[in-house]
Amino acid sequence: MTGEMCGVCGKKEAQWKCNECGIPLCDECVREVRIDSTRPGQRMQGRITSPLKSATKRLKVCEKCAQEVEFLED
């Protein structure tokens, strides 16, 4: 990033931005949320069918958003 400090702890340089609120996050404050795909083209009987697209979407979020936001697939 461009030398921004973490918006949560304020101690370290930010490496990520929260996908929900956009606050800068350091490596210690970032949380990863995984969302499984529910699209029929992605999964069939619980198995991944597409080798080109991942059936799991990963989001980098802050602790506050990880607890408060309900993550649903777009």
What would the pLDDT profile of 13-67 be if each residue is shown by its tens digit? Answer: 999 999 999 999 999 999 998 887 666 655 555 565 555 666 678 889 999 988 8
Residue whose pair of structure tokens reads 């030398």 in the numeric block: 3
- Asked if 60 and 19 count as a contact pair (C-beta separation under 8 A), the reply is yes
Instruction: Look at residues 12, 21, 17 and name the one whose alpha carbon lies nearest to residue 67.
Output: 21
pTM above 0.75, yes or no: no
Instruction: Identify the three-state secondary structure at position 66.
Output: helix
Instruction: Look at residues 58, 61, 56, 33 and name the one whose alpha carbon lies nearest to residue 43.
Output: 56
Residue 67: per-residue pLDDT = 87
Q: How confident is the model at residue 1 (pLDDT cuts 50, 70, 90)?
A: very low
